[in-house]
Amino acid sequence: MSSMTGMRDHVTAMATQPAVLGAAAILLALVVVAAAAPWFAPSDPSDLASLDLFDSHLPPSWLNGGDARYLLGTDSQGADLLSLLMYGLRTSLTVGLLAVALSVTIGLLLGLIAGYARGWADTLIMRAADIQFTFPAMLLALLIGGLARSMLPVNQQEEAAFFIVVLALGISHWPHFARLVRAAVISEAGKNYVMASRLSGRGHAGILFRHIMPNSLNPVFVLATMDIAFAIMTEATLSFLGFGMPASQPSLGTLIRVGYGYLFSGEWWIVAFPSLVLVTLVVSVNVVGDWLRDRLDPKLR
Amino acid sequence: MNPVYFARRVGHAVLVVFIVSLIAFQLGEVIGDPVTAILGLDAPASAREALREQMGLDQPWPVRYLAFIGDALQGEFGMSYRAQRPVADIIVERIPATVELAISALILSLWIGIPLGVVAAIWRESCWASALMTGSVVGVSLPTFVVGIMLIFVFSVQLGMLPSFGRGQTVAIGAWQTGLLTASGLAALIMPAISLAISQVALVARLVRAEMLEVLRMDYIRFARARGIRDRVVHFRHALRNTLLPIITVSGIQIGYLIAFAVVVEQVFQWPGLGTMFLAALTESDIPVITAFLMLIACLFAGINLIVDMLYALADPRVRLAEG
Amino acid sequence: MPKSHSLILAGLALTTVLAQGAFAENLRYAGATAPLTFDPHATNDFVTTAIARQTYESLIELNAKSQLVPGLATQWEYIDNAAWRLTLREGVTFHDGTPMTAEDVSFSIMRQASSPRYKSLFGQITEANVVDATTVDIVTAQPDAVMPVKLSLLFVMSKAWAEANDVVEVPDLGAASSESYSLRHANGTGPMKLELQVPGERTVFVRNDDWWDDFTGNVDRAEYVAITSAPTRLAALLSGEVDLITDVPLQDVVRVEETAGFKVADGPQRLYMGLEMDGTRDVALASFDKNGQPLDSNPFKDVRVRRAIALAIDNEAIVSRVMRGYARPISMPAAPGFQGYAEDLEKDLGVDLEESKRLLAEAGYPDGFRTTLNCPLERYVNTEEICRASASLLARVGIEVTVNGMVWPEFARMLVNGPDSSFHLIGALGNSGDVQDVFGAILHTRDDESGLGQQNWAMWSNTDFDAVFEKLVSTFDPDERAALYREGLRIAQEQQHAIYLHQPFLIWAMADKVDASVRADSAVVLSDVTVGTE
């Protein structure tokens, strides 16, 4: 899909749009920070022994009462907010990426099958997709999360929270991809080269994966980029409502939920910084995704 | 209209409601223990057993599911465990708040979104248009609850201008409690409606722009221009009118989404609608309320989709052919 | 037509409000949850009971210091054969003007005793006999020395009114399909009459001028609204929409105090918080060694480990930082306001990490272990923070704790249908607030037959302790009882039955013009509230 020259083209094109370039730079920075959190973060919020209750509720270091050790202040447990943010960003991004990967995998497989096999398999899959489309993804994720949680023993829910959220988001989003892939497959399947390789006796799987799939990937890639932003937002919303990531492994949404309680009491930093990071992250993903869509898939414009 | 197509669509809607009813029922089963929720921690085991039996919770789940469906078909959703009142009464009380919020947000999003989209389409090369498009990306990227929290922080906490919670004073019109007729009710509506509308404004603007661009490329528009009809007339009488059908369709679907996201906004603003009712029921394992809410939402979505599909079929005969 | 109608009605309502405003002292107050029902026998939700208490009175009352004082009964005495004799107050009338009779009292006792929600408090009552016009005998299956304390939760309702409105039986959840009359109507004897109850929204009271007791406050009309979210509840107070709020979040106290025109009042709640540890299982649940292998033992069963945990958890720090000083550290399963609490037994264990590690090593866990702390996310103040703070305090002695936060229904189900927890945070008060009930329900060995130890979620078991309890139940002499309370509390401390954390304070905030004092049962006693004119 993207050879080296293709990639270089994209980069040159990006350079002509400062907003996109800026967004891409910010996104890159955020991803690096998230990936490097274990090395860069001033402290590890999951290392409970390092927390000191007497350092709790400190404001950012430049404010009155701030402490130089805690640049952005501390939360109610005395955890460094900057470190919490870096790890939270890491969690949000990981959940978003994995959830989209899951949606893409499910959607790609089912879409390929539906588009290639047609017949009853097609009907079944696309009906299921239609049905799922009638329900908003956010509510669906809430339901799937609730169901998955309730099927686990009480003591394991905390550890499983991460996977439950990924599963809930992933399942609630696959139909978009399935529809897209199916349409692409149907249009590709009619083309001469597929006919030719079919006549030459290639197996179905070979045709699907060697020919049809690579040619349907572009729109999927674009949609997946946009979907990452959506998944991150949905995860944050779930966590804000208290049905997503728990406070012991907080995502940005969890940090906002916890911080919301302090909004009126003057400890604004506990909620303001996570909100800022979340919005920055989603905006930059969306700007880059939007641009990619314009470049790669003019049909969707 | 083709009766087979119609029947299939209706069947489809019924299937959605059925599946949701199963999920809702199952969710109610596992999310907590109603007997514990009612009696609290200090009831003796004998009292628990007695209540469990009395409520029929000792029956196997298919029996209870059938009973539940049978009652639901008669509009009977049982009594809320917590409020000790019929669930149907509670829902009827809560509907006006959510509907007024969702409709206000819808009107707001169309009222702002359509002109923006038109502007962005007509002057597509201008810097305003690209600024609008970038702005719309930011718009769709703002999580509803973050917008709500920010608004509260600025306009309630810092400036003290707008109420941060509730619906203000309401007035009864028949059974409908409206907040639209009092000053405090309108003031209370402003921030929730904006939070809910913001991402929709961006979506509407983008949609209108795309549709408008499509239409502007069409031959009849070119002819109209060629005949010397003024731009304004071309844009608004011909082009915009032809983009309206998809917009109406999208608004239909939007209402559904607005109601779904109203759950979040209601939580932030303590808006006394269906969303806060649902979330409270979840934390109290008030099963009848949880299931009734989910069924209601499922019916709503199935209904909206059915109508949208019908409209499409009426407008575009190809749909009927494609469906075979 | 309907529109113009409602406008006229709205206008009328407005003039009524204005007219009342001219002569009435109005109190508008808000709490986190709405009263669920005005049928005092159909709920055990303490917020509902605290509100319904303004309308329905109990036979015996608790004063501000949690002492028993006469209510609708002026005297009570134990008369053998497991019976208590109550002498009723004369000249009391219900809000509908009918006089209260012994029949009404007997009816109310049996009605409340039949409620599934009151089985643990009153399930033992077998009869309520009318002896004469002002005397009623309560007979229980076993002698019950703490019946008077329990009677502070027994509310008197008019029998004739109940019969007239078809609410003789406590509304039954399984069968009922419509709202019962008693849900939003009330006919009690209390200082306030219920004028309007809109479920989930607001409750309006007006003063009962025929009340038998003296009003110490001046409230003529009171309106209660529920505002669930704490920040918005506070905003409502500061913007003048309400005059008083209960359940002020700890982090907002300073803000209220610093705002001119508002003040904060606090007082101890009748509740104590503690970490309970599995005292029965041979293998602890969800516990692992430092390599992640499941433990084949139950460290919590070893008193040395329990003591080690107590020595590592700094409850003073939790009180000062997590509770911001609005709690009182405790060292026994009781607190001031509980009948039977022994203040002189309080002793601060202090924090001693070295000793804690030594005890862990002695018990066979030199490197510590990993475990899971089950934590309810709501219900009590700042639970999540308390759990996370406990986890970080325990990390210092090598005990790695995963906090498993759960919404209340999940948490409650885990305890009631198990108890499937080896380590959890819980708030406890016993059913009546008498230490005997704490002993019987929470510390006594679990026994399904007798119903003892029903709330012993830790499954702690100590035969010496059980013996003390058996003696206490059948002892009526106050001095002997005091000694037995102390003996039981001492065993609990010595055996470190739980990690006793603190007694939380209730915090109210109000406008300066309002005077109200905080009661341990969180009731805003409207007859005692004064609203000034600023």
Write out pLDDT tens, residues B238-286.
677 677 777 777 777 677 778 878 889 998 888 889 998 998 888 777 8
Spatial separation of the C-alpha atoms in residues A41 and A49, rounded to whole Å? 16
Q: pLDDT tens digits, residue range A140-197?
A: 888 888 777 777 776 666 778 889 899 989 988 899 899 888 888 887 777 777 777 7
Q: Number of structural domains, chain B?
A: 1
Q: Confirm if A73 and A81 have CB atoms less than 8 A apart.
A: yes
Within a domain: residue A86? yes
How crowded is residue C244: how many other Cβ atoms within 10 Å of its Cβ?
24
Q: Check residue A219 and give its pLDDT.
A: 80
Q: Which of C172, C241, C455 sits opposite B41 (nearest CB)?
A: C455
Task: Give the rounded percent of residues in chain C with a pLDDT score beyond 90.
Answer: 64
Spatial separation of the C-alpha atoms in residues A30 and C174, rounded to whole Å? 55
CA C24 to chain centre: 32
- Report the b/e string of A186-208 with b at 16+ CB within 10 A: bebbeeeebeebeeeeeeeeebb
Cis amide linkage into residue A45, ω under 30° from 0: no
Are B43 and C116 inside 8 Å of each other by CB? yes
Residue C164 pLDDT exceeds 60: yes
Q: pLDDT tens digits, residue range C53-85?
A: 999 999 999 887 788 999 999 999 999 888 999
Chain C residues touching A56 at Cβ < 8 A: 321-322
Residue A6 pLDDT exceeds 70: no
C-alpha separations of C106 from A176, C101, C102, C110, C132 in Å:
67, 9, 6, 6, 11
DSSP-assigned states of every residue in C366-416? TT--EEEEEEESSSSTTHHHHHHHHHHHHHTTT-EEEEEEE-HHHHHHHHH
Q: Check residue C236 and give its pLDDT.
A: 83
Amino acid (1-letter code) at residue A185:
V
Q: Check residue C386 and give its pLDDT.
A: 94
3-class DSSP state of C61: strand
Q: How high is the mean pLDDT of chain A?
A: 82
Spatial separation of the C-alpha atoms in residues C528 and C215, rounded to whole Å? 6
**pLDDT band at residue B196 using 50, 70 and 90 as cut-offs:** very high
Q: Check residue C7 and give its pLDDT.
A: 42
- Between B241 and B199, the higher pLDDT residue: B199
**pLDDT band at residue C342 using 50, 70 and 90 as cut-offs:** very high
Q: Confirm if C461 and C445 have CB atoms less than 8 A apart.
A: yes
Q: Check residue B317 and give its pLDDT.
A: 52
C143 shares a domain with C11? yes
Chain A residues touching B299 at Cβ < 8 A: none
**pLDDT band at residue C534 using 50, 70 and 90 as cut-offs:** low
C527 shares a domain with C485? no
Tokens of A45: 């919020």
Within a domain: residue A175? yes
Within a domain: residue B22? no
Q: Check residue B1 and give its pLDDT.
A: 55
Q: Number of structural domains, chain C?
A: 2
- Between C409 and C32, the higher pLDDT residue: C32
Are A146 and B152 inside 8 Å of each other by CB? no
What CATH number has the domain bearing residue A99?
1.10.3720.10
Q: pLDDT tens digits, residue range B41-56?
A: 878 888 888 888 887 8
**pLDDT band at residue B3 using 50, 70 and 90 as cut-offs:** confident
Phi then psi for residue C343, to 5 deg, are -65, -35
Within a domain: residue B222? yes
How close, in Å, is residue B183 to chain A by CA atoms? 25
Q: Which chains touch A (3 or more CB pairs under 8 A)?
A: B, C
Q: Confirm if C432 and C149 have CB atoms less than 8 A apart.
A: yes
Which chain A residue lies closest to B255 (C-alpha atoms)? A136
Q: Which domain holds residue B146?
A: 87-283
C54 shares a domain with C170? yes
Give me the residues of B, 164-183, that contact C with CB < 8 A: 164-166, 171-174
* Residue matched to tokens 């439950």: A164
C132 shares a domain with C115? yes
Residue C315 pLDDT exceeds 90: yes
Q: Check residue B108 and give its pLDDT.
A: 92
Are B301 and A263 inside 8 Å of each other by CB? no
Residue C49 pLDDT exceeds 70: yes
- Report the b/e string of C294-311 with b at 16+ CB within 10 A: ebebbbbbbebbbbbbbb
What CATH number has the domain bearing residue C411?
3.10.105.10
Q: How high is the mean pLDDT of chain C?
A: 89
Q: Number of structural domains, chain A?
A: 1
- Between C267 and C451, the higher pLDDT residue: C267
C-alpha separations of A93 from A235, A251, C394 in Å:
10, 9, 31
Which range, A62-76, A195-209, B162-176, C38-52, has the best average confidence (pLDDT)? C38-52
pLDDT mean over C10-35: 63
Within a domain: residue A297? no
Within a domain: residue B18? no
Q: Confirm if B136 and B204 have CB atoms less than 8 A apart.
A: no
What CATH number has the domain bearing residue B195?
1.10.3720.10
Q: pLDDT tens digits, residue range C216-244?
A: 999 999 999 988 878 778 888 888 889 99
Strand pairing partners for C515? C530
Query: Which of C388, C415, C501 to mutate to test binding with chain A, by most A CBs within 10 Å of its CB?
Result: C388
C-alpha separations of C11 from A231, B11, C5, C17, C426 in Å:
50, 50, 10, 10, 50
Residue C16 pLDDT exceeds 50: no
**pLDDT band at residue C214 using 50, 70 and 90 as cut-offs:** very high
Chain C residues touching B33 at Cβ < 8 A: 409, 412-413, 416-417
Q: Which of C231, C372, C377 sits opposite A264 (nearest CB)?
A: C231
CA angle, C384 as apex, C381 and C386 as ends, to 5°?
A: 75
What CATH number has the domain bearing residue C92?
3.40.190.10
C524 shares a domain with C499? no
Q: Check residue C6 and give its pLDDT.
A: 44
Q: Confirm if C366 and C308 have CB atoms less than 8 A apart.
A: no
Residue C8 pLDDT exceeds 80: no
C216 touches chain B (CB under 8 A): no
**pLDDT band at residue C4 using 50, 70 and 90 as cut-offs:** very low
Q: Check residue A8 and give its pLDDT.
A: 60
Residue C377 pLDDT exceeds 50: yes
Q: pLDDT tens digits, residue range A246-301?
A: 888 889 999 998 888 887 777 888 888 999 999 999 999 988 888 888 777 655 44
Q: Check residue C3 and give its pLDDT.
A: 39
Residue C111 pLDDT exceeds 90: yes
Q: Check residue B31 and give its pLDDT.
A: 67
Within a domain: residue B107? yes
Spatial separation of the C-alpha atoms in residues B88 and B292, rounded to whole Å? 8
Spatial separation of the C-alpha atoms in residues C190 and A283, rounded to whole Å? 59
Q: pLDDT tens digits, residue range B72-93?
A: 888 778 888 888 888 988 999 8
C239 touches chain B (CB under 8 A): yes
Q: What is the largest CA-CA distance in chain A?
A: 78
Q: Check residue B193 and give its pLDDT.
A: 95
Q: How high is the mean pLDDT of chain B?
A: 81
Q: Check residue A82 and give its pLDDT.
A: 92
Range of weakest confidence among B287-296, C139-148, C330-339? B287-296
Q: Which domain holds residue A210?
A: 17-45+60-282
C494 shares a domain with C471? yes
pLDDT mean over C323-332: 94
3-class DSSP state of C100: coil
C404 shares a domain with C299? yes
Residue C20 pLDDT exceeds 50: no
Which range, A69-78, A291-300, B177-186, C324-333, has the best average confidence (pLDDT)? C324-333
Phi then psi for residue B75, to 5 deg, are 75, 20
Range of weakest confidence among A93-107, A200-214, B290-304, C484-498? A200-214
Query: Length of chain B in residues, anyone?
Result: 324
Within a domain: residue A10? no
Strands (E) located in C93-143: 125-132, 135-140
Spatial separation of the C-alpha atoms in residues B33 and B48, rounded to whole Å? 11
Rounded to two decimals, the pTM is 0.84
Q: Check residue C67 and give its pLDDT.
A: 86
C203 shares a domain with C165? yes
Spatial separation of the C-alpha atoms in residues C47 and C235, rounded to whole Å? 21
Are A265 and C405 inside 8 Å of each other by CB? no
Q: Check residue A96 and give its pLDDT.
A: 94
Within a domain: residue A5? no
Which range, B18-22, B220-224, C211-215, C416-420, has the best average confidence (pLDDT)? C211-215
Radius of gyration for the alpha carbons in chain B, expressed in angstroms and rounded: 24
Spatial separation of the C-alpha atoms in residues B322 and B2, rounded to whole Å? 12
> How many Cα atoms within 13 Å fall on the side-chain side of residue A148?
23
pLDDT mean over B206-218: 80
- Report the b/e string of C500-509 with b at 16+ CB within 10 A: bbbbbbbbbb
Residue B97 pLDDT exceeds 70: yes
Q: Confirm if C430 and C334 have CB atoms less than 8 A apart.
A: no
Q: pLDDT tens digits, residue range A135-152?
A: 777 888 888 887 777 777
Within a domain: residue C260? no
> Among candidates A24, A67, A19, A31, which has minimal Cα distance to A277?
A31
Q: Which domain holds residue C68?
A: 3-243+513-531
Are C388 and A57 inside 8 Å of each other by CB? no
Within a domain: residue B68? no
pLDDT mean over C414-423: 88
Q: Check residue A7 and give its pLDDT.
A: 57
**pLDDT band at residue B322 using 50, 70 and 90 as cut-offs:** very low
How close, in Å, is residue B14 to chain A by CA atoms? 10
